[in-house]
């Protein structure tokens, strides 16, 4: 099965997340098929409803104040 989607690809998860901070209108950062994307939230919702496996990319602040990138799986 092949599903087309609209997104901007980034070389790293960190760059995708940073892009969402710089321009929140561009949507959410996701990991899909081993690649890092930023897409509209409605596009991510559409993929989730179609049963596509992917993960949201998020910054998580640790107790010591450092940040780690974590994934939130969808349809896993």
Average pLDDT, integer, range 38-65? 96
H runs (alpha helix) in the chain: 13-22, 41-49
Higher pLDDT, 47 or 3: 47
Cβ(29)–Cβ(38) under 8 Å?
yes
The helix (H) or strand (E) run that includes residue 42 is: helix 41-49
| Report field, pTM of the whole predicted structure over 0.85 | yes
Q: What is the pLDDT of residues 12-22, one digit of tens each?
A: 999 999 999 99
């Amino acid at each position: 099965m092949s599903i087309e989607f609209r997104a901007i690809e980034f070389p790293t998860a960190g760059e995708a997340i940073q892009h969402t901070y710089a321009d929140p209108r561009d949507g959410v950062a996701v990991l899909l098929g081993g690649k890092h994307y930023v897409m509209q939230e409605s596009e991510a919702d559409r993929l989730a409803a179609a049963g596509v496996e992917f993960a949201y990319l998020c910054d998580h602040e640790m107790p010591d104040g450092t940040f780690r990138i974590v994934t939130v799986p969808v349809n896993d």
